[in-house]
Structure 1
Amino acid sequence: MYNQAEYEATLLSQGESFTSIELKINFYRPVFGDVLTAKARALQNGKNISHYICEITRNDGKMAAIATGTMMTLRGQKAKGQ
């Protein structure tokens, strides 16, 4: 569960959507019954293509995984219903 005040989804504007071009996850440590914290941010925000990184840490502060993604922004009719 997340705290809405701390949640920032993407750099999308109203009426825009996205599709994933590439998604990669590197796992570094096992997680057993732990609380995870994920912090995501945009690495690069282009007109059509954006790159994001998400760092996932365990309760002890150690990195459990890193996810990176490349997304294509959909606008207008392409974003309808997505």
Structure 2
Amino acid sequence: MTTMENLPRHVTVLEYLQRQLAGDLAEGTVTHMRYPTAISALLKLRIAEIGEALAVIEIDADAALHGNQQGTVHGGLLCELADAAIGTAHSTLMEPGESFTSIDLKATFLRPVWQSRLRARAWAEHRGRTISHYRCDVERDDGKLAATITSAVMTLRGERAQGR
């Protein structure tokens, strides 16, 4: 026999992530998107702040683990960190039956990283019904910007959102 207590409690993505961050996500609470994402778990990305169309994601970056040929942290890691922050920010706007996809991503690298806790702060500069534009600043733990990333994100609805 199923009781109301045994049924999962469905919440919005924003509420789910806020509760997860606060440490008071009740067992059985679910949302319609996957959290944590597989790539975030693999790279050990952490949500540091969450709001409507806003996310701050952190990673402890180290060239010994995430390095390129020059001995600095690979720019692709900074792009992935920013993409995760942008995706997390946009996911806070998604309703059941909606999904999204990135249309583009442009990175401008400003400073190298060798070993640092990186913070990617992403926010919507323009929120459209279908296309939204985001900016993400990736900051080193010394407070200096390592990169700025911009991205356009398309919200998918109905059949377009199925399986994504």
Structure showing the higher strand proportion among its residues: 1
Taking structure 2 as the reference length, the TM-score comes to 0.46
Q: 2:151: which partner in 1? A: 69
Structure 2 gap ranges (5+): 1-44, 56-87
User: Take 2:116 and 2:46, find their aligned partners in 1: how far apart are those partners?
Assistant: 15
Structure showing the higher helix proportion among its residues: 2
What's the CA shift for 1:13? 2.3
Letter in 2 for 1:55: D
Going from structure 1 to structure 2, the CA distance change for 1:71 and 1:3 (only over 3 Å counts) comes to closer
What's the CA shift for 1:17? 1.1
Q: Superposition pairs for residues 1-80 of structure 1, below 5 Å?
A: 1-3=45-47, 6-7=49-50, 8=55, 9=88, 10=90, 11-80=93-162
Cα distance per residue 1:9-60 (max 9 Å; x no partner)? 2132232111222110100000001110110000101111100011000000
Letter in 1 for 2:106: K
Structure 1 gap ranges (5+): none
Higher relative contact order (CA 8 A, sep 6+): 1
Q: Which has the larger radius of gyration?
A: 2
* Total equivalences in the alignment: 81
Letter in 1 for 2:109: F
What's the CA shift for 1:81? 0.8
